[in-house]
Amino acid sequence: MFTGIITDIGRVRRLRRAGGPAGGLELTIATAYDSAGIALGASIACSGPCLTVVAVEPGAFVAQASAETLGCSTLGDWTEGTAVNLERALRAGDELGGHIVSGHVDGVARLVERRPEGESVRFVIAVPLALMPYIASKGSVALDGVSLTVNEVGDDCFGVNIIPYTLAHTGLGEARPGQRLNFEIDPIARYVARLLGTRSGLAERS
């Protein structure tokens, strides 16, 4: 479980692709976290997806992504040097500064527009139409693992404002129109829709 509050921007140090049609991806991610304090089997959110640590080395950790994760996220696009928003798993007693984030990506969004708006920057985000019913004005979403508040919702896109601190301390500062972003809806919306019998692609997969 996570909160969507990024605590480090890592960088992909190495990539190793497994062979075969169902092959996954092994990622070595450089980080400012103390690697000696990262336990094997620990969960770390990596720009949204929750990945399991399988090894550590000085200044980095190694995680594996399955073919399923690669198919529903942007991890397959990553190259050496790609910036990665990192968050350690929530511990009992930690401050819940964002919102509840599971690290289970629902789909891939696309940055349609980026424009200055006062001291902030407005992002207009397009997502698959099946996910639009789960997005509400003033509700929460996670983009590349970052907890954000929705400002407005249209027919096929929504807008969020990114404050200067978030731009400086997450990979969203480097995002440009056309970029693909890992997208997770608020888990509360997921369960409410399930209880109400919402018939969408997401509900049918639940």
72 and 112 co-located in one domain: no
CATH number for the domain that contains residue 191: 2.40.30.20
Say if 99 falls within a structural domain. Answer: no
Residue type, 49: P
Number of H helices, E strands in the chain: 4, 12
Tens of pLDDT, residues 62-83:
999 999 899 999 999 999 999 9
Q: Is the pLDDT of residue 20 over 90?
A: no
pLDDT at 117: 94
Under the banding of pLDDT at 50, 70 and 90, the label for residue 90 is confident
pLDDT at 198: 55
Say if 190 falls within a structural domain. Answer: yes
84 and 170 co-located in one domain: no
Task: Please report where in the chains the tokens 């929504």 appear, as a residue.
Answer: 158
Structural domain boundaries, residue 32: 8-88
194 and 122 co-located in one domain: yes
Question: Do 176 and 186 meet the contact criterion of CB atoms below 8 Å apart?
Answer: no
Question: Do 15 and 91 meet the contact criterion of CB atoms below 8 Å apart?
Answer: no
pLDDT at 1: 87
Opening angle at CA 27, ends 67 and 104, nearest 5:
50
The stretch 26-51 carries a mean pLDDT of 97
% of the chain beyond a pLDDT of 70? 94
Q: Is the pLDDT of residue 206 over 50?
A: no
Structural tokens at position 75: 């991890």
197 and 111 co-located in one domain: yes
CA atoms within 13 A on the CB side of 176: 1
Residue type, 17: R
76 and 140 co-located in one domain: no
Rounded Cα gap, residues 197 and 178, in angstroms = 33
192 and 111 co-located in one domain: yes
159 and 197 co-located in one domain: yes
Say if 64 falls within a structural domain. Answer: yes
pLDDT at 21: 57
The stretch 152-181 carries a mean pLDDT of 96
Count up the domains in the chain and report the number: 2
Tens of pLDDT, residues 31-41:
999 999 999 99
Question: Do 47 and 30 meet the contact criterion of CB atoms below 8 Å apart?
Answer: no
Of 61, 88, 115, which one is at a domain's C-terminal end? 88
Say if 101 falls within a structural domain. Answer: no
Say if 121 falls within a structural domain. Answer: yes
Rounded Cα gap, residues 57 and 104, in angstroms = 26
pLDDT at 194: 76
Of 88, 115, 137, which one is at a domain's C-terminal end? 88
Instruction: Report the range of poorest mean pLDDT among 5-9, 36-40, 199-203.
Output: 199-203
pLDDT at 49: 97
Give DSSP secondary structure letters for 98-137.
S--B-S---EEEEEEEEEEETTEEEEEEE--GGGGGG--T
Strands (E), 24-179: 25-30, 43-46, 50-57, 60-65, 83-88, 107-117, 120-126, 140-143, 146-153, 157-162
For residues 135 and 98, which has the higher predicted lDDT (pLDDT)? 135
